[in-house]
Amino acid sequence: MHPLIASALRDPLQLPDGLPDSLRELVNEVSAIPDWYDPTLAQAATRGFIRNSNIIPAALAGAAIVEGFSTLISKSFRIRGRITQNGVRRLRQILLHLADQYLPGGMEPGGDGWRLTLRIRLVHAQSRMLLKDSDEWDAAAHGLPISAANILLASTTFSARLLQHARRLGAKFSDMEWEGYVHVWRYTAWIMGVPEAILFEDYDEARRRFEIGMLCEPPPDDDAIIMANSIVNSAPLLLGVKDPKERRPFATFIYQVCRELVGDELADQFLFPPSRRIPQVPLLWLKHRLRRVALERIPGFHRLDSGYDYMEMLDISNVGDFEQSYSLPTTVHDEASRPW
């Protein structure tokens, strides 16, 4: 399957002979850019993303992805072991996807973000099939695994909700960059298969979809607790902090930031440690804003600045051969699957 998918996505506008009809139809469908897609908004999103690339990963790992795993989608990941066994790799994959989405031209047919988004759609489809045939999935209680509704909610979490968290941490977007960020995720969700009938059009709609979606979700259960804590404890490893003595205080700090961003109610449901006395989010906001002012107004400050930036984000999102691989999972449990 890997060679077939790779050949189809290498040049989606000139598909090779011998492709299965279903794959050909899918690639043709998502190669036709919808009329509502606005490249100007996408360019604005790229500017905002790169300028705030020192904050967006923190908003992702410290809040948005944790909130995402408070939903039923956590069950599919827990059953498959995709996070509990490979938490750092999963975080890198998500960061890589974000970086590729917001590269100039990244979401145009054949672009890195476009190809990776389509790969994710195929992985979701394969995982859905494996889970449906598994005795571990309770379809009567939980419906279709990794459904379009799940993907829609995840898309609002990684767009509108992530922006809210990033702003609290000190991110600065123009109005056009703000809407552009959500616009790129609207297009991404469409490529992933979310029907246009339920797709959001702008930030306000995405925020509202997130709020309604979270109201429809049951309270976090053991699967959600496992997944949320796996993400928080994987974050230090993602940044190269491997010594247990250094990881513990770093994880404690991330727990604190996450609690402040997602709120005490959800943090308590996740069994996160209690809050510390000194709030960290306002301090992070001040730190990031002061850094931005210094970069903009002090000549030569960028040469002295060792802060996290876009190139460093690309470096830590490196997952080796993953970016070029179109292999798919072969078993329900990830540890028994062929590499993908």
User: Which position has the higher pLDDT, 17 or 31?
Assistant: 31
Domain boundaries, the chain: 30-281+309-324
Dist CA 91 CA 321 (whole Å): 16
Residue type, 228: A
Q: Which range has the worst mean pLDDT, 182-191, 214-223, 228-237?
A: 228-237
Amino acid identity of residue 195, one-letter, is P
Write out pLDDT tens, residues 32-44.
Answer: 999 999 999 999 9
Note the pLDDT of residue 204: 98
User: Other C-beta atoms within 10 Å of 104: how many?
Assistant: 13
Q: What is the pLDDT of residues 148-157, one digit of tens each?
A: 999 999 999 9
Mean pLDDT of 43-68: 92
Averaged over 34-58, what is the pLDDT?
Answer: 94
- Mean model confidence pLDDT for the chain: 88
Q: Work out the pLDDT band at 336, boundaries 50, 70, 90.
A: low
For residues 40 and 33, what is the distance between their CA atoms, to the nearest angstrom? 14
Say yes or no to pLDDT of 168 above 70. Answer: yes
Query: Is 27's pLDDT higher than 90?
Result: yes
Burial label, 311 (beta-carbon count in 10 A; 0-12, 13-18, 19+): exposed
pLDDT of residue 110: 92
Dihedral sign computed on CA atoms, order 82, 80, 221, 204: positive
Point out the least confidently predicted range of 43-52, 72-81, 112-121, 141-150. 72-81
| Rounded distance between C-alpha atoms, residue 99 and residue 184, angstroms | 12
Take residue 55 and report the two structure tokens written for it: 């904050």
The answer to whether residues 155 and 185 touch, using CB atoms and an 8 Å cutoff, is: yes
pLDDT surpasses 70 at 269: yes
Q: Helix, strand, or coil here: 109?
A: coil
**Model confidence band, residue 298 (pLDDT cutoffs 50, 70, 90):** confident
Q: Render pLDDT for 251-263 as a digit per residue (tens, 0 to 9).
A: 999 999 999 999 9
Phi-psi region at 93: left, alpha or beta (left = phi > 0; alpha = psi -120 to 50): alpha
Answer yes or no: are the C-beta atoms of 327 and 340 closer than 8 Å.
Answer: yes
Instruction: For residue 187, count CB atoms less than 10 angstroms from its CB and return exposed for 0-12, middle for 13-18, buried for 19 or more.
Output: buried
What token pair was written down for 208?
A: 């509202």
Q: What is the pTM of this model?
A: 0.90
Least trusted range by pLDDT, from 210-214, 238-242, 291-295, 311-315 = 311-315
Of 111-115, 281-285, 309-313, the least confident: 309-313
282 pLDDT exceeds 90?
Answer: yes
Distance CA 229, CA 231 (A): 5
pLDDT (average), residues 305-319: 66
What is the C-alpha to C-alpha distance for residues 289 and 135, in angstroms, rounded to an integer? 51
Could you tell me the pLDDT band of residue 299, with boundaries at 50, 70 and 90? confident
- Distances 339 to 99, 123, 333 between C-alpha atoms, Å: 23, 13, 12
Q: What pLDDT shows up at residue 319?
A: 62
pLDDT surpassing 90 at residue 246: no
Query: How many whole angstroms separate alpha carbon 251 and alpha carbon 209?
Result: 31
Q: Counting beta carbons within 10 angstroms of the beta carbon of residue 222, is it exposed (0 to 12), middle (13 to 18) or buried (19 or more)?
A: exposed
Higher pLDDT among residues 136 and 184, named by residue: 184
- Given pLDDT bands bounded at 50, 70 and 90, which one contains residue 90? confident
- Segment 302-308 mean pLDDT: 61
Task: Judge residue 245's burial from the number of C-beta atoms within 10 Å of its C-beta, 0-12 exposed, 13-18 middle, 19 or more buried.
Answer: exposed
pLDDT at residue 59, as a whole number = 93
pLDDT score for 203: 98
Copy the structure tokens of residue 164: 């809210």
